[in-house]
Amino acid sequence: MMRGMKIKELMVSPVITVQEDDPFSKVEEKFRTKGIRHLPVVDSGGLLKGIVTQRDLYRTLSPRLTEEGIYYAPEALDEFVLKRVMKQEPVALGPDDELAKAVEIMARNKFGAIPVVDKDRKVVGILTETDILKWLARQL
């Protein structure tokens, strides 16, 4: 069922990213406003430099609980440097790699997402476990 299927058939593109020199509060803002949990970190040319996850955010600073819900003070978040929090040089695959390869890497390493890059390591998409599960649900 998955054999021969290419990552480009399931990946999300264009992908939401953050710049490696963005303030850390921008990471939290994108997670909150875009409803995502993984952000590739790119340089000014769009080349993959790292990945930051919602779990990284939780480990870095605990949120405050207010009547409106969870809240992060942007000034507290900005005390942290994104380059030090992100996972540097993450595993990435190409759009023409097989989906089965991505699934195997994600399962073995307990990754929730894999950035998808072109031959120059420019981010062209992202493949998440949710994308794969939604596809599997449609197949069943």
The domains found in the chain, sorted by start residue, are 7-139 (3.10.580.10)
Interior angle at CA 28, CA 12 and CA 38, nearest 5: 30
pLDDT of residue 64: 81
End-to-end CA distance of the chain: 11
Which residues of the chain are under the pLDDT cut of 50?
none
- Residue 109: Cβ within 10 Å count: 9
CA 82/CA 40 separation, integer angstroms: 11
Q: Is 53 helix (H, G, I), strand (E, B) or coil?
A: strand
pLDDT of residue 33: 94
pLDDT of residue 2: 64
- Residue 73: Cβ within 10 Å count: 13
pLDDT of residue 22: 95
pLDDT of residue 68: 79
pTM, to two decimals: 0.90
